[in-house]
Structure 1
Amino acid sequence: MIIDDQHYDVIIIGTGAGGGTLASKLAPTGKKILVLERGDLSPHEHEHWNVMDMVTKNDMPVTKEQWYDNAGEPFRPQINYWVGGNTKFYGAALMRMRERDFKKVEHLDGISPEWPLKYQDFEPYYTQAEKLYNVHGQGGNDPTEPYRSEEYPYKPVNHEPRMQEICEGISQQGLHPFHLPLGLKQNNRNNYFESPNIEGDTTVLNRSDVKANAEEVGILPALKSPNVTLKTKAKVVCLHTNSSGKEVKGVEAEISGQSYLFFGHIIVLACGAVNSAVLLLKSASEKHPLGLANRSDQVGRNFMKHLNTVMVQFSSAPNKSVFQKTICVNDFYWGDENFSFPMGHIQNTGNILQDMLPTEAMPILSLLVKLMPGFGLRQLANHSIGWWLQTEDLPDPNNRVQVIGNRLHLDYTPNNTEAHDRLIHRWMDVLKTIDRHSDNSLFPWGVYPRSETPIQVVAYQSGTCRFGEDPTTSVLDLNCRTHDVDNLYVVDGSFFPSSSGVTPALTIIANALRVGDHLMERLN
C-alpha cells in the first residue's frame, strides 16, 4: 500500500451534486481539500454527447458493473462514474421540494415521514443553489409553488411554438402549466436556444457547455484554488477508523491497480445513496460489526428512487421543436377531486429519438409500425412529444442496499403504485382532450405508448442514510454527520427521510451548501 504523506483538512469522496457543490463551497476557505472520484473527466467533444450513445456504446459512461435484485438476478445499473457524477447526464430540471413535503404526508399506501428540518431551513440554500446552478424559471404559475425569498436568477427558456400550443391546450382544461426550472449555463443560453445553428440538435441539453452540472459549476472552479486537489480513477474501497472507532483516520482507494491510503481531518461521502451505503457497509470492523456508522442498522435501508413513466404523444405534423423540455404540470401533485392522496409531477422529456422507442418495451409501437408501412420508428419519433410522469415512492426498510459476499444487492419493491397509475390515466385524459380539439393529432382516438423505468434506473436514488435526531432510527444528525463517527459526513441523497414528488438534485445541492456552512464553522 502506498501511503500519501499529505494530511488533508477535508477529503470529499464523489463529485456529483453533493460532492462537487461542497468542493466549490469549501475551496475559498484555503483549507487543504482532497477530492476523490472513481471516474475520469468526461470527453467534451460534441460527438460524445448523443443521448443514446450514453447508454448503448461500450465506451460511454454507464458502468459495466453488475448489481443484483431481490431475486438474486444480475442487472447493469444505469449509473455514471465521471467527474460531475450523474449531473453530467441528468436532465437539469432543478425544482424545490414543496413546503408540505417536509411535513408528515398521508399517501394511499402509507406515510411519507416528517423531516427533522423544514422548508424554511432549506429556503436560503435553495436560493444559493439556484444561483450557483444558473436556474432558469418563472414563479407565479405553479399552484404548489413554495415561498421564495428571491426570484429565479434567470428568465425561463421560452416555449417553442408546438410546446406553446400544448401549454394552451392544458390551460384550457383549467390546469396550470408552467416553465420547467432548468439549470443552464447563462453565458451559452442564447447561443443554443435562440440561434438557428442548433436546428436538429436534439442533444442540446446533454452538451457539457450548456448544462449546469457539478463538474462545470463545482469541481472546475474549485480546482482554480491551489488548496484543492482532485484525483480521478480513484475508487475508495474502505474507511479505516482509529482504535476507538470514533473517527475515520484513513481512506483507502484503488488507483491504477495500486492501493493508496489518504489521511484527513474530516471525511465526506458523496458517492450517491447506493454507493455511500455500500462503502459504509464494506468498512465494517470490530468496533462497527454491522458496517461503519451502522449502530442503528439503518445504513442501506429505506432506499427510494421514485415511480417514473415515460409517455409518448404523437402528432400528424412533425414536431420541429429543437428543445421541447420546458413544460411542467403540478396540478395533480397533491391529488384531485377524485383522489385525495398525492399523485405526482409531470414534465416534458427531452426530444424523443428513434432509438428511444423500443418496440419490445412498447408492444403498441410494434403494432403501429406493422400497420403503417413506410412509417417506421424514425417517423414516429419525429412526430412525437415525450412526457415524464413521476410519483413519490415511500420509505420501506425492506427496500435496501446490501453487500453479500462481494455482491451489491439492491432489494427494491415499488410501492404507492395506485397513485402513480391514477396519474398516468389522469394525464392520458388531458392529452386526449388536447388531441380531440387539435388538427395535429396523429391518433385522435388516443394512443399513448408508455414505459415504466426498471430497477436499473437509479437516477433519483435517496434515503439509505437518513438524517434525524434519534441515533436509533437514523444514521446522520441534522448536520449530516454520522451519529457514531465524529468526523464522517454524508452529503448526497442518502440523507432524505422521504423522496417527495420532485427530482432530488436541487435539494441535494442546497443541503451540500448548508452542510458546507457547518463545516466552515467547524474547520475554523
Structure 2
Amino acid sequence: MSEHYDLIVIGSGPGGASLAHRLAPTGKRILILERGDYLPREEANWSPQAVFVEGRYQADETWRNADGGSFKPQLHYNVGGNSKVYGAALFRLRERDFEEVRHHGGVSPAWPLGYEAFARYYDEAEALFHVHGRRGEDPLDPGAAPYPFVPVKHEPKVAELAGKLAGIGLHPFHLPLGILLDQKEDGFATPTSTCMRCSFFDGFPCLLNGKADAQVICVDPILKAHDNVTLLTGAYVSKLDTDASGRRIDAVHVTRGGKEEVYTAGTVVVACGALSSALLLLRSANKRHPNGLANGSDQVGRNYMRHEMSIVMAVMRHVNETVFQKTLALSDFYFDSGDADFPHPLGLIQMCATSHADQIKGEAPLAGLMKHLPDMPFAEMARHSMDFWLQTEDLPIPENRVYYEDGEVHLDVAETNEEALGRLKAKLKQVLSDIGWPAVLVERSLYLGKDIPLSGTAHQAGTCRFGTDPATSVLNLDCRAHEVDNLYVTDASFFPSIGAVNPTLTIIANALRVADLLKDRL
C-alpha cells in the first residue's frame, strides 16, 4: 500500500497536533500517524490503583539503563500523546531562560533565537489551549497580553496558603492551566462546564475530556472540520527512507495491523516526543546517513533533559479538604536562591493534584514513610497533606542520551543539578515553617533515595537540538534537519535547554511557528 500526501505528521501529541491544527485550513492533504489508539474513556481513568500502581495506560516496553539494568519507561502511546495524562500547567519560558544561565551544576546554554521569536506564538498557544491565569502575578512571566481565561480559583486552604506566602514577602500566583472550565463565583464548575474540578488531574486521563490536551483541542476538531486531514491509529513508523541523494525523505514505512505500508509526502514532520523521535531517526540509518538519519553531527539522541523533579507531600497538623489543589505556584527562587552561600538558581515550586491513599501506597517508598510517619495510615496521610511539584533545570550534556544497542533501547542519564533540587526542597520546608505550617516532607517516588526515577519521562526534551551550526546541532532555526531538506521536528527535541518550567506551552508555540513557516512550502 502506498499513498501520497502533501504533509505527513508522525505523532499526535502537542507538537504534532498543534502543527496539524494550524495547517488543516490550507486544504493540503495531511496524514497524521499515531502508533497508539484513542485512550479508552472508562472508570479506570480515575483509579489511582490502575493509573499509578498498575500503569494501565503506559507503554508495555522494557529499556536498559547505563548500568545494564532494566526499567519500564512511563510513555503513553495514544491519540494526544503524553498530554492525555499531563498536568496541563502551561508556562512560558522566562526571558532569561533563552539566555545563558549559570547554575551550581553547570551552564545552561543560550538559545539561538530569543524570547521575541516566540512571543506572539505563546499568545496564540494560550488561546488555543484555553489557558486560565492572571497576568502580572508571576514576577517572571514575560507575557504582556491578558490570559484568555480567568484564573482557576483557589479553594479555601490554598487561598489561605497564598495569603500567608504573600504575608512573608513572597509572590504566589495562580498556576496557568489549560482546562475547559467555566467557573461560578465560588470557584466551582458551572453545570455546563466540561471540567468538574475533581481531584483526579495530574497523571490521570480526564474521563470528561475537560483537560485541554492535544486530542481534545486539536485532533478531534480538525478531523471533524476538515476532510483533507486523515488520522491513522495503530500506525508504528518503523523507519524513514531517503532518495539516493540522502537529502529528501521519499518513503515513510509503517506497520499497522500486522501489515507493512508505505506513505510518501512532500514534507515530513516528526513529533513523537523527544525520546521516540530520536529513536526513529536512529533506526532510519542508511548509506547516506550511516549513524542515523540527519545525524552527521552525532547529536541525535544526545543532550536529553527532563528536569530535576520531585513530588513532595507536605504532611501537616491540619486537615486539608481541598479537592482541586493544583492552582498555585511560586517562582521567587527561580533565578535566585536568596541565600548568600548559594548564589545560584533553584527553580519552580507548584502545587500538584491531591494525593490519594492508593497512590501514596503505590508510589512512595515505604521505608521512608515508616521512618517519618510510622503510625499514620495512608488515608490519614492523604487528608493531612498538601502536595507540591518541585523542579529545577536539568542541564544538557552529550552523555545523557537515548540510543539502540544490540536491538534494545538504552537511556543513559546522570543527574546534573541535584544540589539545587535539594535546596529547593529545603526552601519549601523553611517557607512552610515561616508561615506557621510546619510539615514533614515525604517523597512520592517509586525508588528510595531518588526523586523522579529514570522511568519518569514527563518532561522529555533536547535530543535533536536546533542551532546554526550543523556540526553541533541537528535542526536549523526553522526546526528543519540540516541534512534532510523535507524533514522537520516539532516536539521538545529541539530544545537547547529546558528552563525550570513545564515545557508543553513552548512545544505548542514552536509548532505554531513552524507551521507558519511551512505554509509557503506546502
TM-score in terms of structure 1 length: 0.93
Aligned-partner Cα distance in 2 for 1:177–1:507: 22
Pairing 1:401–2:402 present: yes
Going from structure 1 to structure 2, the CA distance change for 1:25 and 1:199 (only over 3 Å counts) comes to: closer
Count of residue pairs brought into register by the alignment: 507
Residue identity opposite 1:71 in structure 2: D
Secondary structure of 1:515's counterpart equals helix
Q: CA deviation at 1:174?
A: 1.1
Query: CA 1:193 to 1:235, structure 2 compared with 1: closer, same or farther past 3 Å?
Result: farther
Aligned in 2, Cα 1:291/1:392: closer, same or farther, shift over 3 Å?
same
- Residue matched to 1:441: none
Q: Relative to structure 1, is the Cα distance of residues 189 and 217 closer, same or farther in structure 2, using a 3 angstrom cutoff?
A: farther
Q: Residue 212 of structure 2 corresponds to which residue in structure 1?
A: 212
After superposition, the C-alpha distances for 1:360-379 in whole angstroms (9 at most, x for unaligned) are 61534224554x3xx41011
Amino acid at match of 1:223: L
1:369/1:377 contact within 8 Å kept? no
CA distance in 2 between counterparts of 1:486 and 1:341 reads 41
Cα gap change, 1:138 to 1:201, in 2 (>3 Å): closer
Cα-Cα RMSD: 2.0
SS at match of 1:19: helix
Q: 2:160 aligned with 1:170, yes or no?
A: no
Q: Which deviations, in whole Å up to 9, do the C-alpha atoms of 1:82-110 show, x marking residues without a partner? A: 10000000000000000000011111121
Preserved contact between residue 6 and residue 265 of structure 2 (Cα < 8 Å): yes
Alignment match, 1:77: 73
8 Å CA contact 1:55–1:78 kept in 2: the answer is no
Question: Partner amino acid for 1:467?
Answer: F
Aligned-residue offset at 1:57: 3.6
Q: Per-residue displacement from partner, 1:325-351 (whole Å, max 9, x unpaired)?
A: 001000000023313211100100101
In structure 1, the partner of 2:25 is 28
CA contact (8 A) 2:52 2:359 kept: no
User: Match for residue 360 of structure 2?
Assistant: 357
Residues in 2 aligned to 1:169 and 1:322: alpha-carbon distance in whole angstroms: 20
Greater CA drift, 301-310 or 43-52: 43-52
Aligned to 1:345: 348
Change (3 A) 1:480 1:138: same
- Distance in 1 (CA, whole Å) between partners of 2:290 and 2:386 is 51
Stretch deviating more after TM superposition (411-420 or 7-16)? 411-420
Pairwise CA distance, 1:409 = 0.6
What do residues 109-144 of structure 1 show as CA deviations (whole Å, max 9, x unaligned)? 211111011101100000000000000000112121
Distance 1:218 1:458, change over 3 A: same
* Bigger mean CA offset, 316-325 vs 104-113: 316-325
User: Secondary structure at the residue paired with 2:267?
Assistant: strand
- Distance in 1, matches of 2:98 and 2:416, equals 20
Separation of aligned partners in 2, 1:396 and 1:490: 20
2:93 aligns with 97
Counterpart among 7, 16, 20 of residue 19 in structure 1: 16
What secondary structure sits across from 1:423 in the alignment? helix
Could you say which residue in structure 1 is the equivalent of 2:106? 110
Question: Quick one: distance in 2 between partners of 1:293 and 1:368?
Answer: 51
Kindly indicate whether residue 52 of structure 2 is the aligned counterpart of residue 55 of structure 1. yes
Asked whether the 8 Å contact 2:152–2:187 carries over to 1, the reply is no
Q: Deviations over 1:244-285 (max 9, x none)?
A: 111001100110111111111100000000010000000000
Aligned mates of 1:94, 1:484 — CA distance in 2:
32
Aligned twin of 1:466: 465
The match for 1:447 among 440, 443, 446 is 440
Whether the 8 Å contact between 1:334 and 1:340 is mirrored in structure 2 is: no
For 2:75 and 2:52, the matched residues in 1 are separated by 9
Amino acid at match of 1:43: P
Q: Provide closer, same or farther for how the CA distance between residues 19 and 397 of structure 1 changes in structure 2, counting only shifts above 3 A.
A: same
2:267 is equivalent to residue 271 of structure 1: no
Q: TM-score, normalised by structure 2?
A: 0.93
Gaps of 5+ in 2: 446-450
**Using a 3 Å threshold, how does the CA distance of structure 1 residues 521 and 281 change in structure 2: closer, same or farther?**
same
Change (3 A) 1:357 1:49: closer
- Structure 2 matches for 1:382-393, cutoff 5 A? 382-393=383-394
Q: 1:199 to 1:295 in 2, by over 3 A?
A: closer
Residue 383 of structure 1, CA deviation: 1.8
Q: Is the 8 A contact 2:285 2:291 kept in 1?
A: yes
Aligned with 2:151: secondary structure?
A: coil
Given that residues 12 and 215 in structure 2 are in contact (C-alpha distance below 8 angstroms), is that contact kept between their aligned partners in structure 1? yes
Q: 2:199 is matched with which residue? A: 202
Q: For 1:223, what is the secondary structure of its paired residue?
A: helix
Alpha carbons 1:298, 1:473 under 8 Å: kept: yes
User: How many percent of aligned residue pairs carry the same amino acid?
Assistant: 45
Q: Measured at CA, do residues 200 and 194 of structure 1 come closer, stay the same or move farther in structure 2, by a change above 3 Å?
A: closer
CA distance in 2, matches of 1:266, 1:16: 18
Which position in structure 1 is the counterpart of 2:118? 122
**Which position in structure 1 is the counterpart of 2:148?**
153
Distance of 1:200 and 1:485 partners within structure 2: 46
Q: Show CA shifts across 1:417-440 (max 9, x none).
A: 111111111111011223xx35xx
8 Å CA contact 2:87–2:201 kept in 1: the answer is no
Residues 1:38 and 1:465: Cα distance change in structure 2 (over 3 Å): same
- For residue 370 of structure 2, what is the aligned residue in structure 1? 366
Distance 1:241 1:414 in 2: 37
Aligned residue for 1:481?
480
How many angstroms does 1:48 deviate by? 2.5
Alignment of 1:237-252 (within 5 A): 237-252=238-253
- Checking the alignment, whether the CA contact within 8 Å between 1:188 and 1:209 is kept in structure 2 is no
How many Å apart are 1:147 and its aligned residue? 3.9
Residue by residue over 1:192-211, the C-alpha shift from the partner in whole angstroms, topping out at 9 and shown as x without a partner, is 93369999942156425211
- Look up the match of 1:520: 519
Write the distance in 1 (CA, Å) between the matches of 2:18 and 2:184.
22
Q: Structure 1: which 5+ runs fail to align? A: 439-443
* Amino acid corresponding to residue 219 of structure 2 in structure 1: I
CA distance in 2, matches of 1:226, 1:62: 31
Counterpart in 1 of 2:492?
493
Distance (Å, rounded) in 1 between the aligned partners of 2:105 and 2:337? 17
Partner of 1:223: 223
Q: What code does the residue aligned with 1:494 have?
A: S
Please tell me whether the aligned partners of residues 266 and 486 of structure 2 are also in contact (alpha carbons under 8 angstroms).
Answer: yes
DSSP-derived class of the 2:18 partner: helix
Secondary structure class of the residue paired with 1:193:
coil
Secondary structure of the equivalent of 2:306? coil
Aligned-partner residue type, residue 157 of structure 1: V
Would you say the 8 A contact 2:184–2:190 is kept in 1? no
Is 1:260 equivalent to 2:253 in the alignment?
no
Q: Deviations over 1:140-190 (max 9, x none)?
A: 121212142x11000001110011111122112211100000001146899
Deviation for aligned residue 1:46: 4.6
